[in-house]
Structure 1
Amino acid sequence: MATSQPLSDDVLSNELVGEPVRITTAAPKATRRVIVRASAPKPPDNSVEGELTARVTARWIPDDPAQTTTPWLRVIVSEEEVGSGWDGSTVLEAGRPVTLEVFGRIPRGCELNTGCEWPMNVGFELQPDAVPGTVELEWTAQATARVVDTSDVPKGFTVSVSAP
């Protein structure tokens, strides 16, 4: 009979409110970097795992207000070095803000006693062949982390998300 590894309870980070982003059909991609950190004053030699959640509210503003074509928006959460990651997409409508949540895994393997820091990217991509227009994006990032091989949260264990 297989048993699973014990995990501590999840610890939630602060919510980072990112600077607003604008992408257009002429410049349809943008990426914002965030740093996720986990620490404890007297850390055990256990590894840490978790997720980063990006919450995005998008407003589509076509150059021609009479345009009814609805392009898509894709949001990607990835490890900085990898480039590919977890994504979600939604269809945009003029005059109607849409909200999208995308979850991405924080890479495993960091030992808490060595200090854990993960550079992550939140990417935004407008449909490349869309009708001319602009997407205004408001976004936040928040992480959840837990300690592997223990059911107890180490005293003082914290998780944070910040801009570099």
Structure 2
Amino acid sequence: MDKVTTGLWCDGTAEEQARFYTGLIPDSVMGDIMRAPVDYPGGAAGTVLTVAFTLAGRSFAMLNGGAGKPHSEAMSLSIDCADQAEVDHYWDAFIAHGGTAVQCGWLTDRWVVSWQIIPRRLLELMADPVHAPRAMAAMMTMVRIDVAALERAIAS
């Protein structure tokens, strides 16, 4: 177990979310599923309380805590993508599963968790003081990041 685990609050969807995420992201596994031993104010005995899992080797825990704790873009998960094909793979999977495209490589999944789907090339360009201004200007016009369009922007 990691010393620090990212916790996500859910409204009864912890197991479904964890199974979707671990099925999508390589090197991810489901962990323990803790069920309520008795009836409690938020649910009945036997219902899922928490789900532990790893995404690409990082520890997460989801709590079926009920309504009232909505997610926001103040906390997001970022997927480092080797190339455009990987960007497209994750983007298409989230959107096909009820996600919503936002801007600049961001999307929210069907449970309103925010994700950044970022190609490494964008980070390389943003770290280069010569290319960063044009790369950023191009990125600001994008929803899904398009590596070829970034390359065209820095070449112009």
The answer to whether TM tops 0.5 is no
Greater RCO, CA 8 A, separation 6+: 1
> Greater strand share, 1 or 2?
1
Task: Give me the TM-score of the superposition, normalised by structure 1.
Answer: 0.31
TM-score normalised according to structure 2 size: 0.32
More helix by share: 2
